[in-house]
Structure 1
Amino acid sequence: MRKIILAQPPLGLASTLRQTARLASPLGVARHFARHGEILREFTRLEFSGRYQGTVLGMLWSLVTPLTSLAVYTFVFSVVLKATWSGAGQGGVMEFALALLTGLACFEVVAGAAARGATVMSENVNFVKKVVFPLEVLPVSVVLALCLQSLVALGLVCLARAFTGEGLPATALLAPLGYVPLALFASGLGLWLAPVGVAAKDAGHAVGAFMQLYFFLTPIVYPLTAVPERYRFLLSLNPLHPIIEHFRRTLLWGQTPDWTALGLCTLFALTFLLAGFAWFMQLKKVFADVL
């Protein structure tokens, strides 16, 4: 296989762009990852199981970490600052905590995809040096593992909602639809940032600083209705906002999804992924030379 690939004549720029355009179609990307499905599953498993391997608490850290953040933010914003959630619920500390945990579960997927996307190539130099290895699998496997981890936090939301108040609403069955735009958006972000991380070694630090800003620009610790009217439209353009609201509507408030917002968000996330995939495939040829 290596000899066959190395024996191929170099493609011109126009031919390369046409080839990438064909590959970066929705069907082309789906077929591409389907061909590498076994590798993708294995790396997702390794990413998920290796996250806490060798630690004392092991998988319990997937519970401790979100609960610690939840306790701090709930105390500061709900108890100290007396913030209330003016969504569709009745308010109170419990609803604030559950709405906050739902937002944190979604944000951690995107934040983790951005952070690891900027470093995943340098962490896997051995695979980068292999000509036939599908490097695009690495950032996507990170996202899939993060989505699995987010299920723990959302599972806590479901348990708390089931045993308090009116119980878990029937609309919770529609909640998993939110993982479609979430996974697409996070995967696209990882694919966009992977080449940046190869070229700039300090990209991880820049991403970390930006994600702190992005956290507070996303309606996670506050509802969008709390934002002044002149800024509300700008924050509503945040692609993560309709995803978080989808999970809150279906899991907490017993409302059906906002199909228009969810559809537009999914379309944007898919376009973002396809563009990121094309960007990654064009630049991955030089990763080995840079690293």
Structure 2
Amino acid sequence: MTLILSLIRREVVGRYRGSVLGLLWSFLNPLFMLAVYTFVFGVVMKSRWTVPDQPNAQHSTGEFAVILFCGLIVFQFFAEVVSLAPGLIVGNTSYVKKIVFPIQILPVVSAGAALFHAAISLLVLLVFAYIVFGSIPLTVVLAPVIFAPLIVLVLGIAWTLASIGVYFRDMSQIVAPLVTATLFLSPVFFQRTALPSWLQPWLSLNPLAIPVESFRNVVIFGVQPSWAALGRYSLLAAAVAFLGYQFFQKTRRGFADVL
């Protein structure tokens, strides 16, 4: 654990090493992202969010921005880990050749760094949520519970992609558009209820759907998540993580030969 925490710290600090503002970029980046998406979707496209249980009422542009940002935090965590996964082993060949180094922790380190940025974004979100809505619901304490199965799922995907990326270098090019598609096909920019009724259940096939909706409910709307859906998602996440780790451990034997 000490090694993992040390590597996460090095990853976070190293990302901003040499920049004038340093770690301040951790706050500025989510603010910039919030401003851009709010302008595009809230001002230009005039997208709005329907108030729960009030189908004829819509949230204001400011409220829509906060709701949108909430979903983007979940996506950014997912995207950061998954996008980097195919190049994790290729980019750390020195670790592969060290027999004593546990290379299986590299995806964990990547997820830890992404989780740090998600936590910073959450702090920014809570500040804006308090300004716009006037309060922060007590259900916000459930945010870690919502993120836990997503972290497990992402680790399983990262282990798998990291292994494949060693043998198939084009994987990074394939993952990039898939991550973008995952964003626009998830309920980040739209509500599930905006879809035709026959299509709504299929939205849950998107790995971000349940985390985004659950995270938004507990952080913004003060609503309990669907525990049944979250339970099924957790079981799936555990299975993906287990299979991903096993796949990584079996394929790692050839890493040194390929690299």
User: What's the CA shift string for 1:233-282, capped at 9, x where partnerless?
Assistant: 22122231111112111111011222112211111111111110000000
Aligned to 2:224: 256
Aligned to 2:33: 69
- Please point out which of 126, 130, 136 is paired with 1:158: 126
Aligned to 1:43: 7
Tell me whether 1:242 sits opposite 2:218 in the alignment. no
Aligned to 2:175: 207
Q: For residue 47 of structure 2, what is the amino acid of its counterpart?
A: A
Q: For residue 258 of structure 1, what is the amino acid of its counterpart?
A: S
Tell me whether 1:268 sits opposite 2:243 in the alignment. no
Instruction: Tell me the secondary structure at the aligned position of residue 221 of structure 2.
Output: coil
Looking at CA atoms only, which structure, 1 or 2, has the larger radius of gyration?
1
- Please point out which of 146, 151, 154 is paired with 2:114: 146
Cα pair distance change 1:226/1:39, threshold 3 Å: same
Q: For residue 120 of structure 1, what is the amino acid of its counterpart?
A: L
Unaligned runs of 5+ in 1: 1-36
Q: How far apart are 1:64 and its partner, in Å?
A: 2.4
Tell me whether 1:172 sits opposite 2:140 in the alignment. yes
Q: For residue 123 of structure 2, what is the amino acid of its counterpart?
A: G
* Contact 1:199–1:290 (CA under 8 A) maintained in structure 2: yes
Tell me whether 1:101 sits opposite 2:69 in the alignment. yes
* Contact 1:195–1:284 (CA under 8 A) maintained in structure 2: yes
* Contact 1:39–1:137 (CA under 8 A) maintained in structure 2: no
User: What's the CA shift string for 1:173-203, capped at 9, x where partnerless?
Assistant: 2122112112111111110100111012222
Unaligned runs of 5+ in 2: none
Percent of paired sites with the same residue = 36
Instruction: Tell me the secondary structure at the aligned position of residue 136 of structure 1.
Output: helix
User: What's the CA shift string for 1:18-44, capped at 9, x where partnerless?
Assistant: xxxxxxxxxxxxxxxxxxx22222211
Q: How far apart are 1:87 and its partner, in Å?
A: 5.1
Q: For residue 275 of structure 1, what is the amino acid of its counterpart?
A: L
TM-score calculated relative to the size of structure 1: 0.83
Q: For residue 209 of structure 1, what is the amino acid of its counterpart?
A: P
Which region of structure 1 is more displaced relative to structure 2, 160-169 or 182-191? 160-169
2:257 and 2:220 mapped to 1: Cα distance? 50
Q: How far apart are 1:91 and its partner, in Å?
A: 1.0
2:175 and 2:36 mapped to 1: Cα distance? 23
Q: How far apart are 1:135 and its partner, in Å?
A: 0.8
User: What's the CA shift string for 1:144-164, capped at 9, x where partnerless?
Assistant: 110111011111111122233
Instruction: Tell me the secondary structure at the aligned position of residue 215 of structure 1.
Output: helix
1:214 and 1:140 mapped to 2: Cα distance? 22
* Contact 2:182–2:208 (CA under 8 A) maintained in structure 1: no
* Contact 2:81–2:107 (CA under 8 A) maintained in structure 1: yes
Instruction: Tell me the secondary structure at the aligned position of residue 132 of structure 1.
Output: coil
Aligned to 1:181: 149
1:147 and 1:261 mapped to 2: Cα distance? 23
* Contact 1:171–1:256 (CA under 8 A) maintained in structure 2: yes
Aligned to 1:7: none
Where has structure 1 moved over 4 Å in runs of 4 or more?
A: none
CA RMSD of aligned residues (A): 1.5
